[in-house]
Amino acid sequence: MTRKAAHFLREMWKIILSITLVMCTIVISLYLLKKVPSYIQETEEKFYSTVEESEYALGLRIFLPSYFPEYLIWPPSEIKVVRKPYLTISLVFLSRSHSSPSLVIHQIISDNKNKEVDLDFMEPKRPFQRTQVLVGGAKGTLIVGVGEDGKRWAQLSWRTVDRKIFVIANCSVEDLLKIARSIH
């Protein structure tokens, strides 16, 4: 090997090493920075643009209805996650005819069956019917009433192994039951 070639190789080695060092520093810093937001937002409420994104951020599967009436718009217009007091995922679906919320699905993650989740803001303000129904083998509570907007709203809530689900809609009770029973 000539002296010139040896010098070239030595310089190339220095160049590659310095670029690699700087790039590695950047890659490690960026990787760590990517992890920060999920730690910061542990107790905050956060909005996601897709169901997949929220599943990825939370590390759990979000239940979705397989029966979805044509008068509702897919995908959800809002996907909100609140960490405290309970980890709650809320999906809001708009009506195709008047573009206002017509179906809301809340999933409250809690496997403690004895600790009753009390979120009374979800109930219709003036309930006039309260009955027990079966949803996939679980006992659910159906409440029909008038909401704050003066419209007829129905709410069905039941518990699964790891979460309590609330389905609130201003559709018919039959449709609400179909939607609720298709959620998995």
Partner 1 sequence: MYLLEFSFSQYVFQCLLHSFIIAFVIEALLKIWREERPLLRLRFRLLVILIPVLSFPLYQLVYPQRGGFGFRKDIAIFDINQWLLLRLGDGILVWHAALVLLGVTTAVFLMQEAIPILLAYFHREASKTLYESGTIPKLDMILEELKQKSSFTVPRIFLLTEKEPVIYTNGIRKGSINISLSLIEALNREELEGVFAHEMAHIMRRDNAIGWVLLLFRFIVFYNPVALVEFRRIIHEKEKLCDDIASSLTGKPLAFASSLIKVFRMAEANGVTHTSQHNLGSRILFIVHNLERHSHRVRVENRVIRMVRPKKSHNPPYPHIRLGLTTLSLILLLFFVV
Contact residues: partner 1, CB under 8 A:
8, 11-12, 15-16, 18-19, 21-23, 25-27, 30-31, 33-34, 36-38, 40-41, 44-47, 49-50, 52-53, 56
What angle (nearest 5°) sits at the alpha carbon of residue 65, between those of residues 83 and 88? 10
* Minimal distance, residue 39 CB to partner 1, in Å: 11
Closest to partner 1 by CB, 79 vs 180, is 79
Peptide bond into 85 cis (omega under 30): yes
Closest to partner 1 by CB, 100 vs 129, is 100
Closest to partner 1 by CB, 23 vs 138, is 23
- Strand, coil or helix: what is 177? helix
| Cβ–Cβ under 8 Å, residues 157 and 147 | no
* Minimal distance, residue 117 CB to partner 1, in Å: 24
Please give the sequence-ordered ranges of beta strands (E in DSSP) within the chain, or none if there are none: 45-48, 78-82, 87-94, 101-109, 126-135, 138-146, 152-159, 163-169
Residue (of 64, 84, 82, 86) closest to 74 by Cα position: 64
Closest to partner 1 by CB, 18 vs 172, is 18
Residue (of 44, 168, 165, 169) closest to 107 by Cα position: 165
Q: How far is 51 from 86, CA to CA, in rounded Å?
A: 19
* Minimal distance, residue 51 CB to partner 1, in Å: 10
* Minimal distance, residue 59 CB to partner 1, in Å: 11
Q: Which residue has the tokens 């029973």?
A: 181
Closest to partner 1 by CB, 5 vs 40, is 40
* Minimal distance, residue 24 CB to partner 1, in Å: 10
* Minimal distance, residue 12 CB to partner 1, in Å: 7
Closest to partner 1 by CB, 4 vs 113, is 4
